[in-house]
Structure 1
Amino acid sequence: MASSPSPDPRPAVVLHGGPVALPTLLGNGTNGTPRLPTGGKIRAGIKVLTRRAAEVPRAQAIYDQGLNQGQSFDQIERALAEACPELKSPLVPRNVPWFTVRAQDFPNPELATQILDLHGEDRGEGRRLYRFPVVFPTDRWQSVMPHELATWGAQDKRFWSEYSTDGRWRHCMTHAPVPVDATGRRTVRLFGGRKAIPREDNGGLCQPESCPEYQQRQCNLTGRLLFFIPGIRSISAFELHTRSFYAMNAAIRTFETVAFLRGGRLAGFLDRQGTPFYLTKRLMEVAHIDDHGRPVRVPQWIIELEAPVDVATLMREQDDQDTVLLQADGAARVLQGHRKSASSTPGKGPESVDEPVAASDSTADGMPPTLEHVLGRLAAMGVPAQTWMSYAATRWGPGWKLNPQGRARAFGELERFRNDPKGYADKVNAELQQVAS
């Protein structure tokens, strides 16, 4: 008697709206989150010579030559370190009202020229990039604005923050020591790079108030925006780095407001007229605590994410989409009823159909579901409400409860899984773990 085949040991990954897929060796990242390839950096400011470095003629010449040749500030700093080793940290950041676009910050230097030609302005200091349009490739703001607390060494990151899968704890991570073989003389060849582990000396928890690196200003908040620029032909996204808490916090508020008004959508243009987001800078008074514990306000140019769109237009377009969905649902029911009538034998009722009819996203009376309908179906399935609400906000956007289209989608999904509550609970938990990782 032949033995039954052993189960496939490879884990399966369920894709949205698709069949079960098997992960590949290189196609399944450590956290399952797709990473966008980047095609260049736009910088938030500039770097200038320190007062001491500016007094050294050779350093000034190297700096001026680097600017004229379109070199990045990292390249200029390396050249200064080689030519003037006596100067420690010869460049310092300077806050300016424009963004820096340099050819050497792009794998294809022509892209820098195209961006300045298309969106640059001359306001008396040469052609600069003061404001430019952007579109985002995904509806999750966490994916287009990744950020962390991080401590950098001479070559790479020493420590960085990561949240636990449930989002409750912020961990302090570091690179694991490179293992050695049994002889103790040769390092083990690693596949996929160095491994990340929780930092041992602080219990693996990220607590800035008790962190020596953070208190010594070695660990700082760092983030970046990932976007495409309309009119610039590049399949890779561009990135803009920032360390400003104010800029990132304000961008999150803009993202959440737009997602609420657009039924959870951030990707693409904002309306049918092709209105994009815009990135610009605004002069603000920023408060911080000085070394003596006193509040101080200083003026700074802060990155600002604009969404210059008529809110009434967004709401009207959302209503139009809801009307189309309801009309399509009604038409599908009419066609479905016609098909059933055609399959009836004269003198007999409709013949039984083996295929189950797909569940509608509307209630039994044909009306769009209310929030009470959705929560009632959720309670009947026994799925924890708090967990599911977090999942729903991720899947359909934070404004799904107030949006008829969002409620219909949620109700329809619950209807489709009503006979498999355990499987659905597993799906919800898996989605939340993927988002948090």
Structure 2
Amino acid sequence: MDQQNPPSLSAPTVPITLLGQREPRIPTAGKIRAGIKVLTKKAASNPRVKALYDDGVVSNATFDEIERKIIEAFPGIENPLVPKNVAWFTVRPNDFPNPALADQILALYGEDRGDGIRRLYRFPVMFPADRWQAVMPHELACWSRNEKRYWSEYGSDGHTRFCKMHAPARIDERTRRVVRTFGGRGTQLRPENDGRCDPENCPEFQGRHCNLTGRFIFYIPGIKSLDAFELHTNSFYALSRAIERFETIAFLRGGRLAGFLDRRHTPFFLTKKLREVSHLDPKTGQPVRSAHWIIELEAPIDVSALLIEQDRDAAIQLAEDAVRTLQGEASRDLQVPALQVAPSATETFAPCAPTLDAPQAPTATGEGAPASTPAAGTEAIYALAATLGVSPERLDAYADWHWGVGWRRNAQGSARVLAELEDFRSDPQGLIDKIAAEIGE
């Protein structure tokens, strides 16, 4: 298993189980909010409502809890809170099953930008799947007070958008009781408009009851939690810009989004940027521009280094294929002859170090080189490590943990270690810090 990146949930096939064939769902256990909610002008004019709101904020209650308490105490006020766009993210203990996680996140990544309050303005994230649709699910949705009434889903063709709703409960004619369902409530197409989702002709969308909603699903480096975290947003601009970055990174990394971005453990970052966005004035129909804090997905990487790393990984794969071919372990459908694969893989590493010899080809009896014989070129590896300030003992401990103790006995194992050292040739302290972080002082 790759030690620097966690396993991805984007497996090519999904096994059929009792609960059906479905996409794996990434469990979440906590919400980071995109902003805050404040009292409407009408609600704020009532001192008792304002006191209830202030008490909730001080006690770290969620805005949903604050709103619920206000509505219960003042039935005449239906929507006392409205969202307010701010430069920071909201992290409140009551939004986490383990409230201590909120304090841990703020302690690690919170900032005091001069107002005496520690807030979350920018923080690192890792995504647990390679498909951006899995880590940034989104939809058009219409909610009632207690449940989601309608929502959008694309058909199997990937182009036709349908409007879905919960199917009405079935009544058993014999017992006159509701039929107990397996696997949750059923769904069906909305009867209107042949089940098509057509926002321009939808009364809920035009009445602002149905809106775009999405969320980012991620892990936060340094925060110990088996479940992921989520950040909700209804910003078309934030979601669209994130898709552009996801697709760019996936292209540069051969389809991968999960885990760290490179071998130096560079994560994505979520932050906010103040940008001017345009929208149509609902009365005049004319475009209007206004400034908003928009969620921004950052990937602070050197693109050229990322492309080099991808080329190197491809070369390592070629070297592994060559070794398997020489050892008689190549699959029958391998189309490239062994004598054509092995030299190209060897030449790939030639500029970095002396050519690494492949293991001895097996004899007719199936016997190869002795297992205890190190691959040629290990002396050069130890010499390079020494110039970077890493002793042979320290390198052995790190390489054995990272690639397994067999790396000395085969060419591709030695090539991996050599490539790692070459990455840090201009940053020796970075290598020392990485080894310390992974195996300790």
Q: Normalised by the shorter chain, which TM-score bucket?
A: 0.7 to 0.9
In 2, Cα distance between the equivalents of 1:357 and 1:296? 62
The alignment partner of 1:203 has SS state of helix
TM-score by length of 1: 0.72
1:396 aligns with none
Structure 2 distance, partners of 1:360, 1:209, is 54
CA deviations over 1:242-266 (Å, ceiling 9, x no partner): 0001000000000011111111111
Contact 2:150 2:164 in 1 (8 A): yes
Deviation at 1:362, TM superposition (A): 4.2
Matched, 1:293 2:296: no
Equivalent positions of 1:49-68 (< 5 A) are 49-68=39-58
For residue 361 of structure 1, report the CA deviation from its aligned partner.
6.4
Equivalent residue number for residue 363 of structure 2:
none
The CA deviation string for residues 104-129 of structure 1, in whole angstroms up to 9 with x for no partner, is 11111111111111110011231100
Counterpart amino acid of 1:202? N
Q: Deviations over 1:264-319 (max 9, x none)?
A: 11100001111000000000011001112110001000000000011111011111
Shift of 1:367: 5.8
Going from structure 1 to structure 2, the CA distance change for 1:278 and 1:17 (only over 3 Å counts) comes to closer
The 1-side partners of 2:12 and 2:184 are apart by: 32
Q: Secondary structure at the match of 2:182?
A: coil
RMSD of the alignment, in Å?
A: 2.1
- Aligned residue number for residue 197 of structure 1: 188
Q: Supply the distance in 2 between the matched residues of 1:77 and 1:16 (Cα, whole angstroms).
A: 41
Moved more, 48-57 or 183-192: 183-192
Q: What does residue 423 of structure 1 align with? A: none
What SS does structure 1 have at the residue aligned with 2:194? coil
Query: Which position in structure 2 is the counterpart of 1:104?
Result: 94
Q: Give the superposition deviation at 1:16.
A: 6.1
**Which letter maps to 2:227?**
S
Letter in 1 for 2:295: I
Per-residue deviation, 1:233? 0.2
Instruction: Tell me the SS of whatever aligns to 2:49.
Output: helix
Counterpart-to-counterpart distance in 1, 2:55 and 2:291:
31
Measured after TM superposition, the shift of residue 83 of structure 1 is 1.5
Instruction: Establish whether residue 155 from structure 1 lines up as the match of residue 146 from structure 2.
Output: yes
Q: Could you say which residue in structure 2 is the equivalent of 1:94?
A: 84
The reply to whether residue 304 of structure 1 matches residue 278 of structure 2 is no
Q: Aligned equivalents of 1:366 and 1:113: distance in 2? A: 57
Aligned to 1:378: none
Percent identical across equivalent pairs? 57
Change (3 A) 1:232 1:16: closer
The structural deviation recorded for 1:191 is 1.8
1:167-206 maps to which residues of 2 (within 5 A)?
167-183=158-174, 185-206=176-197
Question: 1: distance between equivalents of 2:308 and 2:258?
Answer: 19
How far apart, CA to CA, are the structure 1 residues paired with 2:324 and 2:178?
64
Contact 2:322 2:338 in 1 (8 A): no
1:24 to 17, 22, 39: 17
What amino acid maps onto 1:180 in structure 2?
Answer: I
Structure 1 partner of 2:124: 133
State the one-letter code of the partner of 1:359.
Answer: D
1:30-77 Cα deviation digits (max 9, x unpaired) = xx1000110100010100011221121211111111111111000000
Tell me which residue corresponds to 2:388.
none
Question: 1:211 corresponds to which letter in structure 2?
Answer: C
1:202 partner SS: helix
Question: Number of residue pairs matched?
Answer: 331
Could you say what secondary structure the match of 2:173 adopts? Answer: coil
Q: Which runs of 5+ in 1 are unaligned?
A: 1-14, 340-355, 369-437
- 1:10 aligns with none
Is 2:18 the counterpart of 1:44? no
Structure 2 CA distance for aligned equivalents of residues 361 and 226 of structure 1? 41
Determine if contact 2:111/2:120 at 8 Å carries over to the other structure.
yes
Partners of 1:264 and 1:278 lie apart in 2 by 19
Q: Say which of 271, 280, 298 aligns to 2:262.
A: 271
Which structure 2 segments of 5+ residues have no match?
Answer: 1-9, 343-441
The corresponding residue for 1:360 is: 334
